[in-house]
Amino acid sequence: MKNQKIFILSGLIPALLLVLAFTYYPFLRGIIMAFQDYKLFDLRHVRFVGFDNFKAAFHDPKFLVALKNSGYWVFFSLIFQFVLGLSLALLLKKPFRGRGIFQGFAFYSWALSGFLIGMIWKWMFNSQIGVINDLLLRVGIIHERIGFLSNPKWAMTSVIIANVWYGIAFFAIMLLAALQSVPSELYEAADMDGATGIRKLWNVTLPYILPTIIATTLLRAIWIFNDPTIIYGLTNGGPAGSTHILSSLMLDKIIYAGDYGAASAIGVIMIVLLLLYTIFFLTVTKAEKVGDF
Amino acid sequence: MTGLQKTLKVVFLGLYLLVMVFPLYWIVITSLKPQKDIFSFPLRYWPQKFTMDNYVNIFKISKFHIYIGNSLIVAIIAALIVLVISVLSAYVLARFKFRGHSQIMLAFFLTQMLPGFIALAPLYLMMSKMDLLNTRFSLVLMYTVGLIPFSTIMLRGFFQRIPSSLEEAAMIDGCSRWSALLRVIIPVMLPGIASTFIFAFVQNWNELFLAVMFIDNDALKTLPVAMNSFILKFDVDWGAMSAGAVLSIIPTIVIFAFAQRFIVEGLTQGAEKG
């Protein structure tokens, strides 16, 4: 028994210590910074300022735009990633010749960095020599070039398109695995009842994979909300702050402005929103076991 | 399936494939075009002339080979350390029940949901205080820490699929738990371990923001940091930038091509079981 205790401790301590010291400690310190005037270029005047950073944020038009954008960003990225990912998973469920190779080409975006994907799409969206403008002109859908990233009317849509492209594979991979775990007896029973394809999908497949759908969507929404890399690579929030989401604005304030207090305040607001979202989501879906993994 | 359905399926899959592959195709083609063709109209979808100029150029105007080396060193070392630490914690969390078990799982799980960049500024200050700015060690340390929770959750899923009777048998035969783990369990786990390693490597290879914060010594930059300063410096040189992007992408694509099945299995199993 004593041996076992030693084994448990020695197995856990390295992981726990590192995570506590270099994830949770700086994280908590970041939360404290949200209540401080903390600027990298003025470290001698660090002091507590109560809720000033939060007040400043809500008076900052850039923040309000980023708040609204975060909503669009998560909602539309998620909907399109999910619908396309699910369709793809359903079509890939039955084996066909070349499926393995197809999956290789269909899922590789997973292995790329959001930053590089942002860069590649920035090149394709270029308003002068971008290939997307060229293609749309050739086909005749548009008659003059569109400033996909330079026109604030288009910029957010363009950024979301790139993000959808990036994330379909994630949903497809997760949902495909779930689909393949549906026991075939369920389909046999449905066949005996004379169910058609769509009915089987609606009555057998979807209910069976619902827990995976719920868990995947919940997690994915949070990751999309938190991840600024694609936006950083594509527009870095521009033009004029019109494509910042909360996380990219926070990053901007850390890397470029060195205003740690303001950045942390945005971070704390993000945590509050995430909490509200998670509670809302779990209540609506009544999924008690989702958080289990 | 009716003929119409089949056609629709082929059309959808074909379109999807086209949309997925085209950006990669385009960046590769751009990197192989002569400078003047990149900016000339009409755009050419298949270059008249292929050239390696952009690749030669990028090694000339920057220390690209050094960045590649730095990225490899940091990504591989951190992925190996993550593996050792996480195999242990995952095994303990899979096989034993003890006080604090679910709190630890929750603590690991939460790190995946919180907006981690809140910690970025404090981490910068910590690294500065420990005199670790502009060292590869700072990146190895932070990449290791960053991946411990996810790797632990993922590996735990793999351990749970292996019946514990396996190591119990070995222990009855006189193995200690350590050697049972090392000699009996880990060999069975190799696919899971491989996919965790690959996942960790790819994450490290791609990581940008910690590296941007910690490193500004040119000789220590990793590829993403180099690409980042590259964009700031040569914003319009898309030939060289696409060559750099292709070089950054190649290792992950190659790994992905070889290990796709492992990774997909690993990610989904780890997530489903947990």
In this prediction, residues B53-74 reach a mean pLDDT of 94
Would you state the pLDDT for residue B40? 81
Place of tokens 């497949």: A205
- List the single range of A87-91, A148-152, A191-195, B266-270 with lowest mean pLDDT: B266-270
**Using CB atoms and an 8 Å cut-off, which of residues 197-226 of chain B contact chain A?**
202, 205-209, 212-213, 224
pLDDT exceeds cutoff 50 at B274: no
Would you state the pLDDT for residue A126? 92
Question: For chain B, what is the mean pLDDT?
Answer: 90
Would you state the pLDDT for residue B107? 96
| Confidence band of A293 (pLDDT split at 50, 70, 90) | very low
3-state helix, strand, coil in chain B (%, to 5): 80, 0, 20
For B83, the closest chain A residue by CA position comes to A15
Contact between residue B223 and residue A104 where contact means Cβ atoms under 8 Å apart? no
Nearest CA distance, B247 vs chain A (angstrom): 11
Which H or E run includes A163? helix A152-180
Nearest CA distance, A153 vs chain B (angstrom): 23
| Confidence band of A287 (pLDDT split at 50, 70, 90) | low
For the CA atoms of B223, B226, B227, B231, the dihedral, rounded to the nearest 10 degrees, stands at 180
- Bridge partners (DSSP) listed for residue A36: A48
Would you state the pLDDT for residue B36? 86
Task: List pLDDT tens digits, range B169-199.
Answer: 888 888 888 888 888 899 988 888 988 999 8
pLDDT exceeds cutoff 60 at B70: yes
In this prediction, residues A93-117 reach a mean pLDDT of 88
Task: List pLDDT tens digits, range A38-72.
Answer: 999 888 889 999 999 999 999 999 999 999 999 99
Instruction: Report chain A residues whose CB lies below 8 A from the CB of B107.
Output: 19, 24
Would you state the pLDDT for residue A183? 87
**Using CB atoms and an 8 Å cut-off, which of residues 36-75 of chain A contact chain B?**
38, 40
Would you state the pLDDT for residue B116? 92
Would you state the pLDDT for residue A136? 95
Place of tokens 């402005």: A257
Instruction: Report chain A residues whose CB lies below 8 A from the CB of B271.
Output: 174, 215, 293
Question: For chain A, what is the mean pLDDT?
Answer: 92
Which H or E run includes A37? strand A36-37
For the CA atoms of B52, B54, B59, B65, the dihedral, rounded to the nearest 10 degrees, stands at -70
Best mutation target among B22, B71, B89, B118 (most A Cβ atoms within 10 Å) is B118
User: Cβ separation of B104 and A12 shorter than 8 Å?
Assistant: yes
Would you state the pLDDT for residue B268? 61
Q: CA-to-CA distance for B253 and A73, rounded, in angstroms?
A: 27
Q: What single-letter DSSP state applies at residue A141?
A: S
Instruction: Report chain B residues whose CB lies below 8 A from the CB of A27.
Output: 114, 116, 118-119, 122
Q: Which domains are seen in chain B, by residue range?
A: 64-222+251-272 (1.10.3720.10)
User: Cβ separation of A267 and B117 shorter than 8 Å?
Assistant: yes
CA B97 → CA A149, A174, A225, distances in Å? 53, 29, 34
pLDDT exceeds cutoff 90 at B257: no
CB contact A134 to B (< 8 Å): yes
Task: List pLDDT tens digits, range A177-226.
Answer: 889 888 888 888 888 888 787 888 888 889 999 988 998 899 999 999 99
Would you state the pLDDT for residue A98? 86
Of A14, A108, A116, the CB nearest to B256: A108
Q: How far is CA A249 from the centre of its chain?
A: 15
Angle at A109 between CA A135 and CA A75, to 5 degrees: 80
Angle at B120 between CA B116 and CA B123, to 5 degrees: 120
Specify the 3-state DSSP secondary structure of A48.
strand
The closest alpha carbon to B35, from B54, B21, B48, B20, belongs to: B54
Task: List pLDDT tens digits, range A181-191.
Answer: 888 888 888 88
Q: CA-to-CA distance for B119 and A31, rounded, in angstroms?
A: 8
Q: What percent of chain A has pLDDT over 90?
A: 69
Instruction: Report chain B residues whose CB lies below 8 A from the CB of A222.
Output: 113
CB contact A117 to B (< 8 Å): yes
Q: What percent of chain B has pLDDT over 70?
A: 94
Nearest CA distance, A121 vs chain B (angstrom): 7
User: Cβ separation of B123 and A87 shorter than 8 Å?
Assistant: no
Q: CA-to-CA distance for B273 and B265, rounded, in angstroms?
A: 12
Nearest CA distance, A116 vs chain B (angstrom): 7
Write B25-30 long-range contacts (CB < 8 A, 24+).
B26/A120, B26/A123, B26/A124, B26/A131, B27/A120, B27/A123, B27/B242, B27/B245, B27/B246, B27/B249, B28/B242, B28/B246, B30/A123, B30/B238, B30/B239, B30/B242
Would you state the pLDDT for residue A292? 44
**Cβ atoms within 10 A of the Cβ of B274, count?**
16
**What is the ipTM for the molecules in this complex?**
0.91
pLDDT exceeds cutoff 90 at A94: no
Q: Does the CA dihedral B167-B171-B177-B182 come out positive or negative?
A: negative
